[in-house]
């Protein structure tokens, strides 16, 4: 039995928490673990570790929520008709809601891959590699939602490779974000106390549809130039306007991602503008 959509994860929010030592940029509350003041991060590896800590922390809490819902459903919300049409419940003598199917999975969706990848690339390139920007500058800019920092924003937007252009450097960051998320899903499946009492396993998927518009309201400004509350990038597509090498380059970038780890599916949208025909 596939419980296709049990939770949604907004990856840029994890990065936002890294930039603010676990505090929400929108409400100012300490909602995540204290992963350190970015100004003290000596290398990009420290940024990776802080991001990974935020991911695992929030995935653990999501799993606790999913487990609670599924345990309650198993006690109170039976599905006898659906169970009679599936393979497993009749043989096991268990309802679908009690793990009666031969295989039971719980899908967790990931959103905002491109925004997160592009932001990590900006930090790596401008702060650690080229040393053109200091942490103080970048943090002040994103905390003010880029107001008064348009020159720096343009530097971040136009002078760092972006996912969706068949650029290995940028695409590797997108792959790293997806792999980190997938690692956390695999870890959840090793923690029996984070699974419903009747078992099953968590699976990964990428966000589909237009929830990206809503998610833009939940995430503050980001190093890639994202301004709150504008929409995030949709599905596995690049950030709007950042795919500058044509649709074939976007396909090549997407083909480098570890989508084989997303057994619940992955979505990518290709948009090609119609030609302008003059008189």
The domain ranges of the chain are 2-261
Per-residue pLDDT band at 212 (split at 50, 70, 90): confident
Structure tokens at 56: 């695992």
Per-residue pLDDT band at 279 (split at 50, 70, 90): very low
Q: Averaged over 153-168, what is the pLDDT?
A: 97
Structure tokens at 122: 């900006």
Q: Report whether pLDDT(273) > 80.
A: no
pLDDT digits 0-9 by tens, 96-126: 999 999 999 999 999 999 999 999 999 999 9
Tokens 């505090």 sit on residue: 23
pLDDT score, position 132: 97
pLDDT digits 0-9 by tens, 74-99: 999 989 999 999 999 999 999 999 99
3-state secondary structure the chain: CEEEEEEEEEHHHHHHHHHCCCECCCCCCECCCCCCCHHHCCCHHHHHHHHHHHHHHHHHHHHHHHHHHHHHHHHHCCCHHHHHHCCCHHHHCCCHHHCCCCCCEEEEEEECHHHHHHHHHHHHHHHHHCCCCCHHHHHHHHHCCCCCCHHHHHHHHHCCCCCCCCCHHHHHHHHHHHHHHHHHHHHHCCCHHHCCCCCCEEEEEECCCCHHHHHHHHCCCCCCCCCCCCCCCCCCCCCCCCCCCCHHHHHHHHHCCCHHHCCCCCCCCCCCCCCCCCC
pLDDT score, position 218: 95
Per-residue pLDDT band at 265 (split at 50, 70, 90): low
More confident residue, 273 or 211: 211
Highest-scoring range by mean pLDDT, 11-15, 209-213, 267-271: 11-15
Which of 96-105, 172-181, 204-213 shows the lowest per-residue confidence on average (mean pLDDT)? 204-213
Count Cβ atoms below 10 Å from residue 93 Cβ, excluding itself: 9
Chain centroid offset of residue 161 CA: 19
Considering all CA atoms of the chain, what is the largest pairwise distance in Å, rounded to the nearest integer? 71
Q: Averaged over 266-273, what is the pLDDT?
A: 66
Structure tokens at 14: 């994890």
pLDDT score, position 151: 98
Cα separation of 142 and 26, whole Å? 11
Chain centroid offset of residue 153 CA: 22
Does residue 112 come out as left (phi exceeding 0), alpha (psi in the -120 to 50 range) or beta?
A: left
For the beta sheet containing 2-10, the strands, ordered from the edge strand earlier in sequence to the opposite edge, are 2-10, 105-111, 201-206
Is 59 in contact with 9 (CB distance < 8 Å)?
Answer: yes
Q: Report whether pLDDT(277) > 90.
A: no
Cis omega (within 30 of 0) for bond into 229: yes
Cα separation of 204 and 103, whole Å? 15
pLDDT score, position 236: 87
Chain centroid offset of residue 95 CA: 33
How much of the chain, in percent, has pLDDT values that exceed 90? 82
How much of the chain, in percent, has pLDDT values that exceed 70? 92
Q: What does pTM read for this prediction?
A: 0.92
Is 82 in contact with 53 (CB distance < 8 Å)?
Answer: no
Q: Report whether pLDDT(268) > 70.
A: no
Cα separation of 193 and 195, whole Å? 6
Q: How many CA atoms lie within 13 A of 121 on its CB side?
A: 29
Structure tokens at 3: 């419980």
Mean pLDDT, all residues of the chain: 92
pLDDT score, position 87: 92
Q: Report whether pLDDT(138) > 50.
A: yes
pLDDT score, position 191: 97
More confident residue, 5 or 92: 92
């Amino acid at each position: 039995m596939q419980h296709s959509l049990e939770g949604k994860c907004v990856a840029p929010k994890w990065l936002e928490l890294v930039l603010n030592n676990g505090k929400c940029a929108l409400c100012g509350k300490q909602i995540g673990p204290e992963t350190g003041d970015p100004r003290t991060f000596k290398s990009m590896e420290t940024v990776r570790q802080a991001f990974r800590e935020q991911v695992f922390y929030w995935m653990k809490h999501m799993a606790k929520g999913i487990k609670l819902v599924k345990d309650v459903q198993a006690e109170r919300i039976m599905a006898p008709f659906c169970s009679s049409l599936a393979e497993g419940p009749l043989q096991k003598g268990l309802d679908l809601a009690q793990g009666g199917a031969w295989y039971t999975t719980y899908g967790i969706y990931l959103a905002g891959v491109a925004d997160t990848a592009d932001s990590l690339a900006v930090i790596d390139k401008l702060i650690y590699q080229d040393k053109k920007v200091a942490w103080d500058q970048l943090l002040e800019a994103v905390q003010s939602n880029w107001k008064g920092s348009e020159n720096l924003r343009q530097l971040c937007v136009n002078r760092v490779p972006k996912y969706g252009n068949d650029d290995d450097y940028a695409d590797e960051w997108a792959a790293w974000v997806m792999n980190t998320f997938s690692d956390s899903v695999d870890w959840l499946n090793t923690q029996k106390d984070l699974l419903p009492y009747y078992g099953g396993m968590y699976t990964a998927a990428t966000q589909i549809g237009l929830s990206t518009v809503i998610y833009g309201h939940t995430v503050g400004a980001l190093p890639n130039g994202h301004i709150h509350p504008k929409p995030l990038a949709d599905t596995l597509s690049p950030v709007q306007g950042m795919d500058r090498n044509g649709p074939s380059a976007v396909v090549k970038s997407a083909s480098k991602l570890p989508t084989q780890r997303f057994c619940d599916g992955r979505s990518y949208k290709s948009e090609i503008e119609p030609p302008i025909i003059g008189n």
